Amino acid sequence: MRRLFGSVRARATLGATLVVAVALVAAGAAVLLSLRSNLIGEAGTQAERSARAVASELAAGTPYGKLSGLDGDDGPVQVLDEDKRLVAASEDLEKISGTDSDRVKPQPPVAPREDDDDDPDDHEEALKPGEIAGKSVFSNGSVTIDGDTEDYRFAAVEVETEDRGRLKVYAGSPLAAEHGAVRTALTVMLIGFPLLLGVVAGVTWLVTRRALRPVEGIRREMAAITHSEDLARRVPEPDTHDEIARLASTTNETLAALETSVERQRRFVADASHELRSPIASLRTQLEVAAAHPELLDLDGAVEDTVRLQRLAADLLLLARLDAGERLGDARVDLAGLAREETEGRAGVTVDAEPVEVAGSRGQLGRVLANLLDNAQRHARSAVTVRVGPEGGTAVVGVADDGEGVPEADRERIFERFVRLDAARSRDDGGAGLGLAIARDVAVRHGGTLTAGQGPAGGALFELRLPLA
């Protein structure tokens, strides 16, 4: 049961069915109330018509025994005097309720009180002899005729007579039609509503099943990708151009990005292993030779390989921290002062710097400048120029050399990890190809950019742009 209602299709079907059920119950209740009100109103109108017909006869002076309404053809009738005494009633009445008197047999009449005509406040409406009240009073009750008891709607009308004082006429109309119509409508609803709810539930189940079929295809494909670890696979994209199609498209984009990231990580591990193998093998060879022939120990070479390993390990550690999203500092860094610190002691490097501050990690930004300077000095013929200053709301650091420059086709590729354009260059002179990759990663994490172009002297120009603090 939990698994069944844990599905979107089951919840959608249940929700739609409940909404329709509430709407049907509310609509059904409104229909029944309206139907009952209309039928009761019609019964009241019929009762009022009968009561006024009898009142008209009384106003004309017709004796009680000759009233046409007492034959019972138009429903039960009672006539009460001012003391609520029953003075006339339908012949076949056996029991009555809902009027001012529950008697069914007329009582002997009494002479009207002489002071009644002089006190109009005793009645709600002042009437002249022979006049019928314009207002009718309605009530519900029951009547027993020939042993059968039914509910009735009564209308009471007052009439002023010449010789019998004020009389009140009660006439009733049966509510059997109202009860029958309400029962019929209720029966139809009790039978039809469940059938309609069943149809709604079935249609909703089928529609949601059809709508969610692509989702199940996406789920199965994602499960297969997880099981096979084949990130080259993609989930099917339906041609519906709806939210599910956009979900499939986004999922494929995520898989593509994940595949690229994993492939990049694999290449990174492979390249790092390759780069580490050479100095480790060289260092091992030197140590083995030194162990066998101490006089042949190349101490300078061993130290150089050790330093190279240390730098490579530091670069790999920094890249790992950047990939892991290491939190940046929020300190203010003066790029002009930082540039002077990094260029101090470097031969052939000139600095033209204006004070400009950015927010971030001083250590990481210093590493960017150091990597750019190392790269520039490695390729420069004789001079390296560093320019620092504000430009268009950003801080700009430009490092230019007078070397051969970077071909335009390679100006983006050089920022990839372990990429070196000069294949013939020795590893000792060329480094591991991580400096520019680290520099760009740091620049991007600081909200800036690092680009390569052509410098004023024809060599390479690297521009670091960062938002001002």
Q: Look at residue 432 in the predicted model and tell me its pLDDT.
A: 67
Joined together, the tokens standing for residue 120 give 């109009």
Q: What is the mean pLDDT of residues 371-382?
A: 90
3-state DSSP call for residue 174?
strand
So what CATH class is 29-180?
alpha beta
Higher confidence at residue 122 or residue 252?
Answer: 252
Higher confidence at residue 146 or residue 111?
Answer: 146
Q: What is the mean pLDDT of residues 383-404?
A: 92
Q: Which of 110-119, 349-358, 437-446 has the lowest mean pLDDT?
A: 110-119
- Most confident segment among 95-99, 128-132, 217-221: 95-99
Task: Give the DSSP letter of residue 413.
Answer: G
Radius of gyration of the chain from its Cα atoms, rounded to whole angstroms: 52
24 and 196 Cβ atoms separated by less than 8 Å: yes
pLDDT reading at 69 higher than 90? no
- Most confident segment among 291-300, 305-314, 318-327, 343-352: 343-352
Q: Look at residue 71 in the predicted model and tell me its pLDDT.
A: 79
Task: Give the torsion through C-alpha atoms of 92, 96, 101, 107, to 10 deg.
Answer: 20
Q: Which of 111-120, 389-398, 438-447 has the lowest mean pLDDT?
A: 111-120
3-state DSSP call for residue 23?
helix
Q: How many CB atoms lie within 10 A of CB 379?
A: 20
pLDDT reading at 97 higher than 90? yes
Question: Per the CATH hierarchy, to which homologous superfamily does domain 331-467 belong?
Answer: Histidine kinase-like ATPase, C-terminal domain (3.30.565.10)
**Which ranges of 96-242 would DSSP assign to H, the alpha helix?**
176-228
pLDDT reading at 419 higher than 50? yes
Q: What is the mean pLDDT of residues 118-132?
A: 69
Q: What is the mean pLDDT of residues 332-361?
A: 91
By C-alpha distance, which of 276, 273, 301, 275 is closest to 286? 301
402 and 459 Cβ atoms separated by less than 8 Å: yes
Q: Look at residue 229 in the predicted model and tell me its pLDDT.
A: 82
Q: Decide the pairing of beta strands 349-353 and 166-174.
A: unpaired
**Which residues are 174's β-sheet partners?**
152
pLDDT reading at 325 higher than 80? no
Chain mean pLDDT for the chain: 85
By C-alpha distance, which of 47, 309, 272 is closest to 157? 47
3-state DSSP call for residue 397?
strand
Q: Look at residue 423 in the predicted model and tell me its pLDDT.
A: 46
332 and 357 Cβ atoms separated by less than 8 Å: yes
Domain range annotation of the chain: 29-180, 243-323, 331-467
Joined together, the tokens standing for residue 109 give 């009449």
- At residue 425 the predicted structure's pLDDT band, cuts being 50, 70 and 90, is very low
Percent helix, strand and coil across the chain, each to the nearest 5? 55, 20, 30
Higher confidence at residue 149 or residue 432?
Answer: 149
The DSSP result for 365-378, as a single string, is: HHHHHHHHHHHHHH
Joined together, the tokens standing for residue 39 give 């039928």
By C-alpha distance, which of 411, 414, 416, 346 is closest to 383? 346
Geometric angle at alpha carbon 376, from 372 and 378, rounded to 5°: 120
Q: Look at residue 424 in the predicted model and tell me its pLDDT.
A: 36
Q: Which of 178-187, 276-285, 341-350 has the lowest mean pLDDT?
A: 276-285
Q: What is the mean pLDDT of residues 441-449?
A: 90
pLDDT reading at 398 higher than 90? yes
Q: Look at residue 124 in the predicted model and tell me its pLDDT.
A: 59
- At residue 163 the predicted structure's pLDDT band, cuts being 50, 70 and 90, is confident
- At residue 110 the predicted structure's pLDDT band, cuts being 50, 70 and 90, is low
pLDDT reading at 119 higher than 60? no
Higher confidence at residue 92 or residue 373?
Answer: 373
Same CATH topology for 29-180 and 331-467? no
% of the chain beyond a pLDDT of 70: 91
Q: Look at residue 123 in the predicted model and tell me its pLDDT.
A: 56
Q: What is the mean pLDDT of residues 48-68?
A: 90
Q: Look at residue 242 in the predicted model and tell me its pLDDT.
A: 82
Joined together, the tokens standing for residue 245 give 């199609």
Q: What is the mean pLDDT of residues 1-21?
A: 78
Taking every pair of Cα atoms in the chain, the longest distance, rounded to a whole number of angstroms, is 157
Q: Look at residue 387 in the predicted model and tell me its pLDDT.
A: 94
- The matching CATH number, chosen from 3.40.50.150, 3.40.190.10, 3.40.1710.10, 1.10.287.130, for 243-323 is 1.10.287.130
Q: Look at residue 427 in the predicted model and tell me its pLDDT.
A: 43
